[in-house]
Amino acid sequence: MVQERTLPTFNAAKVQITKEEGLRLYEDMVLGRSFEDKCAEMYYRGKMFGFVHLYNGQEAVSTGIIQGAMRPGEDYVSSTYRDHVHALSAGVPAREVMAELFGKATGCSKGRGGSMHMFSAEHRLLGGYAFVAEGIPVAAGAAFQSKYRREVLGDKNADQVTACFFGDGAANNGQFFETLNMAALWKLPILFVVENNKWAIGMAHDRATSDPEIYKKASAFNMAGVEVDGMDVLAVRAVAQEAVARARAGEGPTLIEALTYRFRGHSLADPDELRSKAEKEFWFARDPIKKLAAYLVEHNISTQEELKDIDRKIQALIEDAVKFAESSPEPDPSELYRFVFAEDE
């Protein structure tokens, strides 16, 4: 069993959250979980192909950062090959994400990207990236243009923040160190979010790095670094709100290490035999959706029936997304070379 770090404590009693906010966070996490469960069903039924990496268990990170602290559709999001739920949190419709997984022309990447390459210019989703750490410098570029537009071109509306998501394995790659150095030097408005789910494919994180506490590496760049319980959406939200406020104020980037866990194997082709039963049970007991649901009910923010209504609403939305994907057309072969280059407006 991989040695477990002590999860950071968070005083939820001090949380200020409205009913609308609480239900929005819950709905976004349920959407992510339900969508991924349906993906597994569709994959095993032969509706989608290639490698499909699910996000089950990590929902509090995507929801806490994007829905809890950012402005979806205005701020930028850079993802990884585990990108479906980041896309959903960023506002990409479930229909378009599912259609992309089915390889259909109505998908957010026009059926050309598939599971690992979700993209939506409309929703400021910079893309999913199949190569480890590939999206980190891209995200820095987005953050740089926001800063340049505001400080050089005088666009006072250019206060967008970029959230760059990547896994613990990426923190050992050169792009991580090079980009964090540049972001710190230029004080870019960016959040580097490490989703430390303990495993880089089949390699345990503790065996792959000289210092398992990734957030401490921020000190090498004179950058703010913080660890957070990635199974607690309210804790993630609180940390992200502080980091976003610093970024918008021109105070530079933050490295956030979210301690989380994926409930399924690395991909749907992974039999998941390397992780022990005891390790899985340790993390299954910390399910972020159940944790938030319990908090909302215990603090009289919502009722069980209201949460069940959301569950039913999301199930209907997912079924609609599948029907939409199944009935959508395949990409036209005559358009094979479209979108290779930018087109005239």
Residue 23 Cα distances to 28, 128, 146, 286, 311, angstroms: 8, 27, 31, 19, 11
DSSP string, 19-59: HHHHHHHHHHHHHHHHHHHHHHHHHHTTSS-S-----TT-H
When pLDDT is averaged across residues 331-338 and rounded to a whole number, the result is: 92
Q: Residue 165 carries which side chain, given as an amino acid letter?
A: F
When pLDDT is averaged across residues 241-270 and rounded to a whole number, the result is: 97
Nearest to 198 by CA among 93, 57, 302, 326: 57
Report pTM.
0.95
Task: Tell me the pLDDT band of 1, cut-offs 50, 70 and 90.
Answer: very low
CA–CA separation, 33 and 59 (whole Å): 7
Contact of 165 with 193, CB cutoff 8 Å: yes
Q: pLDDT at position 3, please?
A: 55
| Percent of the chain whose predicted confidence (pLDDT) is above 90 | 89
User: Which parts of 55-178 are beta strand (E)?
Assistant: 76-78, 125-127, 162-167
Q: pLDDT at position 170, please?
A: 96
Q: Residue 162 carries which side chain, given as an amino acid letter?
A: T
Centre a 10 Å sphere on the Cβ of residue 251 and count the other Cβ atoms it contains.
13
When pLDDT is averaged across residues 153-180 and rounded to a whole number, the result is: 97
- Specify which residues 163 forms β-bridges with: 77, 191
When pLDDT is averaged across residues 263-278 and rounded to a whole number, the result is: 94
- Specify which residues 199 forms β-bridges with: 204
Burial of 304 (0-12, 13-18, 19+ CB in 10 A): exposed
Task: Tell me the pLDDT band of 10, cut-offs 50, 70 and 90.
Answer: confident
Residues 301-329: tens digit of each pLDDT: 999 999 999 999 999 999 999 999 999 99
CA–CA separation, 335 and 325 (whole Å): 19
CA–CA separation, 243 and 189 (whole Å): 9
**Which helix (H) or strand (E) is 100 found in, with range?**
helix 94-101
CA–CA separation, 269 and 272 (whole Å): 9
Select the more confidently predicted residue: 116 or 12.
116
DSSP annotation of 149: H
pLDDT of 204 higher than 80: yes
Burial of 15 (0-12, 13-18, 19+ CB in 10 A): middle
Q: pLDDT at position 345, please?
A: 65
pLDDT of 258 higher than 70: yes
Residues 213-224: tens digit of each pLDDT: 999 999 999 999
Catalogue all structural domains in the chain, each as residue range(s) with its CATH number: 18-325 (3.40.50.970)
When pLDDT is averaged across residues 165-188 and rounded to a whole number, the result is: 97
When pLDDT is averaged across residues 175-202 and rounded to a whole number, the result is: 96
